[in-house]
Amino acid sequence: MGLIVQKFGGTSVGSIDRILNVAECVKEEIERGNQVVVVVSAMGKTTDQLVNMAKELSTQPNKREMDMLLTTGEQVTISLLSIALNEKGLEAVSYTGWQAGIVTEPIHGNARIAKINTEAIKEQLQLGKIVVVAGFQGVTDTGEITTLGRGGSDTTAVALAAALKADKCDIYTDVTGVFTTDPRYVKTARKLLSVSYDEMLELANLGAGVLHPRAVEFAKNYHVRLEVRSSMEKISGTVIEEEATMEQNLVVRGIAFENEITKVTVLGLTNSLTSLSTIFTTLAQNHINVDIIIQNTTESGTANLSFSIQTDDWIETLNVLELNKGELGYEQLDAENKLAKVSIVGSGMISNPGVAAKMFAVLAENNIQVKMVSTSEIKVSAVVEEKNMHKAVEVLHEAFELSKVTN
């Protein structure tokens, strides 16, 4: 007998019929002789609907109250799925994040898991029950309800798999696996049979929505066997593992993209040794994530600093910088919205020079201006105008021959 953690996303549980389909998937795993822990998201667009209702009342809703509101979505799903499983003659018990022992840091809206107390889940498994856990949520040491940020149900599932020492964690979604890029936008995208932890982590961080970055971190750090697969089709998916099988020796194995990027520029910054650390410490203390960073020194001896953030954070970012203008010592701020980030990812880049040059040449040939650049050993990211995002992905996908991947 093995222990399997199954995670089903919002689309997979988006209706009563789909919840019944999930119940069948769980039943099949039980019939194979395994113990099962199921992690689910809120149904369909429930979270978006709850966010929209809150924004009808406030342009910046209180983060604590948002957590109280948003966690109700998963509660609906766990109870409905447990009812469906019990109706099929399977004993199931539903647990919220806090009932499941998921303890987080005291941050509302984007908390990290600090520890998991697995006693309650293990007790139910020993009684032969299926445990259905609400993803995306936890509780602080002081009893405050928190959420893990968008896509946090993936993190819940992989963290539980690690804590329970599960034999496998299956992430069920509305696609059949991890593709070379999003097949909804590029028709020639192809499914990959396997992806390394490092490649998947880059893809997830860079906008590939199929897996949450923290989930991949947990899988890598705790060697969780992970597979992304379809909840609607009974076919094999994409295995996330330490070293992926090199399909056709591809240098670039995937292209990720995300919109709603804002470029913030701090002009006339005092060119001192502590200027950068002071600015980014201030932003970090306000839980604002900064991505690409560029600094230029002017002839007058001051510096201009540009960095990219999520557009959702740009008003708060400007407010924080304005509030601390005296301490930070700059002249003025500028912001450019309606930007996007397009990234190529592949572990083969390490031993193949010229990949970045090819990327920029392809973008230039298609009249796509690059505004910011970021690189690592296995990725190159370019910030472009949002209107050019899909075109950039398409031409890069073709240039790096990703449509030739065979399954």
Mention every residue, 6+ apart, whose C-beta is less than 8 A from residue 376: 202
Q: Residue 277 in 3-state DSSP? A: helix
Helices 213-222 & 152-164 angle (0-180, nearest 10): 10
What is the spatial distance between Cα 367 and Cα 337, in angstroms, rounded to a whole number? 20
- 37 closest CA partner among 161, 210, 172: 161
Assess contact for 29 and 36: CB atoms under 8 A. yes
Which single residue is written with the structure tokens 């609400």? 134
User: Please, what are the averages of pLDDT over each run of 10 residues along the chain (407 residues)?
Assistant: 94 96 96 97 95 95 96 97 97 98 96 96 98 97 94 94 96 92 93 92 88 90 93 91 67 94 93 82 92 87 92 94 90 95 92 91 97 94 97 97 82
CA distances from 315 to 69, 111, 247, 262, 337 (A): 23, 21, 43, 10, 11
Bridging pattern class, strands 102-104 and 3-8: unpaired
* pLDDT, position 249: 64
* pLDDT, position 49: 96
| E runs forming strands in 105-150 | 113-116, 130-134, 137-139, 145-147
How is the beta sheet containing 92-95 ordered, strand by strand?
92-95, 130-134, 35-40, 3-8, 168-173, 226-230, 238-241, 194-196
Instruction: Tell me the H-state helices in 267-313.
Output: 275-285
How is the beta sheet containing 145-147 ordered, strand by strand?
113-116, 102-104, 137-139, 145-147
What is the spatial distance between Cα 11 and Cα 28, in angstroms, rounded to a whole number? 20
CA distances from 6 to 21, 251, 292, 367 (A): 13, 32, 35, 45
What is the spatial distance between Cα 250 and Cα 378, in angstroms, rounded to a whole number? 12
> Residue 58 corresponds to which amino acid?
S
* pLDDT, position 180: 95
Element (H, E) at 122: helix 119-126
Q: Is 136 exposed, middle or buried (0-12, 13-18, 19+ CB in 10 A)?
A: buried
How is the chain split into domains, by residue range? Answer: 3-174
pLDDT tens column, 254-277? 999 999 999 999 999 887 777 888
CB neighbours (10 Å) of residue 286?
A: 15
* pLDDT, position 244: 63
* pLDDT, position 297: 84
CB neighbours (10 Å) of residue 323?
A: 12
* pLDDT, position 213: 87
Answer whether 0.85 is exceeded by the pTM.
no
* pLDDT, position 186: 94
* pLDDT, position 247: 55
- 370 closest CA partner among 358, 383, 379: 383
CATH number of 3-174: 3.40.1160.10
Assess contact for 143 and 64: CB atoms under 8 A. no
What is the spatial distance between Cα 391 and Cα 257, in angstroms, rounded to a whole number? 11
* pLDDT, position 407: 58
> Residue 199 corresponds to which amino acid?
E
Measured distance between the N- and C-terminal CA atoms of the chain, rounded to whole angstroms: 31
pLDDT tens column, 110-164? 999 999 999 999 999 999 999 999 999 999 999 999 999 878 999 999 999 999 9
What is the spatial distance between Cα 269 and Cα 255, in angstroms, rounded to a whole number? 35
CA distances from 86 to 20, 132, 321 (A): 11, 12, 54
